[in-house]
Amino acid sequence: MVVSQLRTTEVSDPRVIAAMSHIAREDFVPAAQRSFAYADRGVQIGEGRALNPPLTTGRLLNVARVTQDDNVLLIGAATGYTAAVLAQLAASVTAVEQSSKLASLAKKNLTDFANANVETGNHSDGLAKSAPYSLIVVDGLVEEIPTTVIDQLASDGRIVAAVMNDGVSRLALGRKAGDHIGYQYFADCGAAPLPGCEKAQSFNF
């Protein structure tokens, strides 16, 4: 994965490469899917969900420039894989997961990571009680990043996500300055859909 996917693209942060090399991705997927753990596509994990492709995770964390001082909010714990990677890079990681079954699995998989915590709750709600966060990682493809989540970002914080834009999955980096946030799309890249962050339906009369 590191040789064929990360180093051949723009994943250049040595800390991200080292963390993804250290965490055994196959430990975070169902036994029947382990032969696909490192494939460059989403891996089915049950509950109608999939892990993000490794390349997508790598590119998001690469531009996030995670530091050892970061207090990270992860939207979508899934099975705990991205939280485990982030735990190698940041001071603390709080992962929110709206599937109680996946949240329980993530907690089990993250037992050995003292600085990673999993909370059950709606993805769109984030986790206000531990805010503000210096970095927010949305671990999946969303239609929009909820305002509630953005409000939990520190005034000088960063947020990374895969956002559906004009029918294309685009990776985005957001930077907050005061109460304002600006986004930059930096790559078109496939991502696993993450429920709970859909745009509100509009009605025509």
How confident is the model at residue 2, as a pLDDT?
Answer: 52
Average pLDDT for 100-113: 98
Give, in degrees to the nearest 5, the angle at Cα 101 between 97 and 103.
35
Please state the pTM of the whole predicted model: 0.93
Digit-coded pLDDT (tens) for 139-160: 999 999 999 999 999 999 999 9
CATH superfamily of 2-188: Vaccinia Virus protein VP39 (3.40.50.150)
- Token code pair at residue 158: 């960063």
How confident is the model at residue 3, as a pLDDT?
Answer: 47
Is 80 exceeded by the pLDDT of residue 26?
Answer: yes
Is 80 exceeded by the pLDDT of residue 122?
Answer: yes
How confident is the model at residue 116, as a pLDDT?
Answer: 98
Domains of the chain, residue spans: 2-188
How confident is the model at residue 202, as a pLDDT?
Answer: 56
Average pLDDT for 2-21: 75
Amino acid at residue number 12: S
> Which residues lie closer than 8 Å to 36 by C-beta, 6 or more apart?
29, 43
Rounded-to-integer distance, Cα 12 and Cα 120, Å: 33
Query: Are the C-beta atoms of 103 and 53 separated by less than 8 Å?
Result: no
Is 70 exceeded by the pLDDT of residue 9?
Answer: no
Digit-coded pLDDT (tens) for 56-100: 999 999 999 999 999 999 999 999 999 999 999 999 999 999 999
How confident is the model at residue 40, as a pLDDT?
Answer: 80
Across the chain, mean pLDDT equals 92
